[in-house]
């Protein structure tokens, strides 16, 4: 029988675009059948990097392998995750392996070999000529839209008081009938262009692909869902916050309506916190919704997006905007956010809302803490020379949330922001992880990282 067993939860890409540096999220499990693992590392082209967390509880692995080991603690304490730093200077093929230290002896197993492609800053943030300094590129991501919803949204774009805009529609392999509905809604209007992905990419990568299509003559960019209804003054109002100011991004409140247009809530927010000025708070949980955004094309330097499994495009863009400049909020609704069963992120689970209270510490850990750590490390790697010293200090703290110094910072922030519960929730999440690292037996599914069937390999 083989001795060392492991599995990966995250698929490895064949190619990665790297701008100066990138943080690749890597999670999985590894254990030895008869010996405890002292330390786990990720090795990139022969250079080891520490994992962020190891020996995490995995009830699914324990249940599958408990009878095949001399100590059932080994499969139970097998979980790990890491942010693998990849540098553009190592452009070519990066070879990744997993290293387990057993009895002071390293055991290496190859996990991936990927192509790295460097991306220049100037590819996206190009100078816009004077004649085009108010042109807006609207990026709309679609997937099987309702015919009535897409007609309503397209019509609301045509009714904008700001007239200098184009709309780039990126379709994520909708059915032929749904794509036909998009084409019918657009008609012969040349301001709209439609592109279709060859394979299904998901909303995160679909918005990334759409943003990569923004032409050089667009000075500003807006994001659009496929079935909302923008108020006629939306673009003009948000543009007024950006032109001549220091803000990189402006966003607004929204009204919550059902598919029939009936008002469910007059505002998206039950309460708001100062995420427009507090980078730490924004990294902890997003309060900037994509469809409410308008931003300078300079923010296209945020491409490519970090390669994460549970991240949101609007959260990443907002964090980069606040790290590099200023975010402005229009405290009134500028569009109707339509609720239906197909919402990727609906009103009841909206970012930064009271609904986050319902998340368990484990969910806060994997949805919020992992994302906050990944975003902060990627911003530091890509934009270190462009981030002001106070924000660099915040990013440095957030990049260490899964550590004793990180928990100490969260405790201080939670005391300073008593009304903003995001710090307290993240502290509970970090404390959950610290506590589970000390629990050995009996296995408890409530504190374990639960995963569905995971491909495994052994050597």
Residue 351 has pLDDT above 50, yes or no: no
Residue 3 has pLDDT above 90, yes or no: no
Q: Would you kindly state where each structural domain of the chain is located, as residue ranges? A: 4-120, 122-346
Torsion of CA 370, 372, 374, 375, to 10 degrees: 160
The fold for domain 122-346 equals Spore Coat Polysaccharide Biosynthesis Protein SpsA; Chain A (3.90.550)
For 84, residues 6+ apart whose C-beta sits below 8 A from its C-beta are 23, 24, 25, 26, 42, 44, 49, 96
β-partners of residue 29 are 7, 79
The CATH-assigned architecture of domain 4-120 is Sandwich (2.60)
How far does Cα 262 stand from its chain's mean position?
Answer: 31
What secondary structure does DSSP assign to 70-120, as a single string?
S-THHHHT-EEEEEEEEEGGG-EEEEEEEEEEETTEEEEEEEEEEEEEE--
- Distance (Å, whole) CA 222 – CA 256: 20
453 — pLDDT class (breaks 50, 70, 90): very low
For 362, residues 6+ apart whose C-beta sits below 8 A from its C-beta are 429, 432, 447, 449
Taking residues 128-135, what's their average pLDDT? 68
115 — pLDDT class (breaks 50, 70, 90): confident
144 — pLDDT class (breaks 50, 70, 90): very high
Give residue 171's pLDDT.
97
103: alpha, beta or left, given left = phi > 0 and alpha = psi -120 to 50?
Answer: left
- Distance (Å, whole) CA 21 – CA 23: 7
Taking residues 333-345, what's their average pLDDT? 74
Instruction: Decide: helix, strand or coil at residue 23.
Output: strand
Closest CA to 235 of 134, 347, 324: 134
Contact between 328 and 280 under an 8 Å Cβ cutoff? The reply is no
Q: Rounded to 5 degrees, what are φ and ψ at 403? A: -160, 170
- Distance (Å, whole) CA 396 – CA 399: 5
404 sits in which H/E element? helix 404-416
Q: Tens digits of per-residue pLDDT, 221-254?
A: 999 999 999 999 999 999 999 997 789 999 999 9
Judged by average pLDDT, the poorest of 88-92, 114-118, 152-156, 227-231 is 88-92
- How big is the CA angle at 358 (ends 352 and 363), to the nearest 5 degrees? 85
Contact between 220 and 194 under an 8 Å Cβ cutoff? The reply is no
Q: How many CB atoms lie within 10 A of CB 379?
A: 28
Alpha-carbon Rg of the chain, whole angstroms?
23
- Which range, 36-50, 125-139, 424-438, has the best average confidence (pLDDT)? 36-50
What's the mean per-residue pLDDT of the chain? 87
Give residue 123's pLDDT.
46
């Amino acid at each position: 029988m083989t001795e060392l067993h492991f599995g990966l939860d995250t698929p490895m890409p064949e190619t990665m675009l790297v701008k100066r540096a990138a943080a690749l999220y890597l999670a999985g499990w590894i254990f030895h059948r008869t010996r405890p693992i002292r330390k786990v590392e990720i090795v990139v082209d022969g250079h080891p990097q520490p994992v962020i967390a190891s020996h995490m509880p995995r009830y699914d692995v324990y249940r599958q392998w408990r009878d095949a080991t001399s100590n059932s603690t080994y499969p139970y304490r097998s979980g790990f995750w890491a942010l693998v730093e990849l540098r553009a200077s190592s452009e070519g093929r990066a070879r990744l392996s997993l290293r387990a230290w057993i009895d002071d002896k390293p055991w290496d197993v190859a996990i991936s070999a990927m192509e790295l492609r460097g991306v220049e800053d100037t590819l996206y943030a190009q100078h816009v000529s004077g004649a085009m300094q108010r042109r807006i590129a609207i990026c709309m991501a679609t997937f099987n839209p309702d015919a009535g919803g897409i007609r309503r949204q397209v019509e609301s774009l045509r009714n904008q008081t700001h007239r200098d805009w184009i709309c780039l529609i990126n379709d994520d392999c909708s059915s032929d009938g749904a794509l036909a509905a998009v084409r019918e809604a657009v008609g012969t209007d040349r301001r709209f262009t439609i592109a279709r992905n060859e394979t299904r990419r998901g909303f995160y990568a679909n918005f990334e692909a759409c943003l990569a299509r923004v032409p050089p003559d667009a000075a500003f960019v807006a994001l659009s869902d496929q079935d909302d209804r923008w108020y006629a003054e939306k673009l003009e109002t948000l543009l007024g916050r950006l032109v001549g100011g220091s803000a990189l991004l402006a966003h607004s409140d929204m009204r919550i309506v059902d598919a029939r247009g009936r008002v469910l809530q007059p505002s998206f927010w039950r309460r708001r916190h100062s995420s427009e000025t507090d980078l730490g708070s924004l990294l902890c949980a997003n309060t900037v919704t994509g469809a409410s955004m308008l931003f300078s094309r300079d923010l296209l330097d945020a491409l490519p997006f970090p390669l994460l499994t549970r991240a949101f495009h609007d959260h990443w863009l907002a964090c980069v905007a606040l790290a590099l400049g200023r975010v402005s909020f229009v405290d009134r609704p500028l569009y109707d956010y339509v609720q239906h069963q197909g919402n990727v992120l609906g009103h009841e689970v909206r970012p930064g809302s009271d609904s986050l209270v319902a998340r368990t510490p484990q969910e806060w850990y994997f949805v919020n803490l992992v994302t906050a750590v990944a975003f902060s490390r990627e911003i530091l790697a890509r934009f270190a020379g462009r981030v002001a010293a106070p924000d660099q200090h915040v990013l440095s703290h957030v990049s260490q949330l899964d550590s004793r110094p990180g928990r100490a910072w969260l405790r201080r922030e939670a005391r300073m922001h008593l009304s903003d519960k995001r710090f307290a929730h993240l502290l509970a999440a970090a404390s959950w992880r610290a506590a589970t690292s000390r629990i050995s037996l009996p296995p408890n599914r409530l504190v374990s990282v639960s995963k569905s069937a995971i491909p495994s390999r052994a050597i």
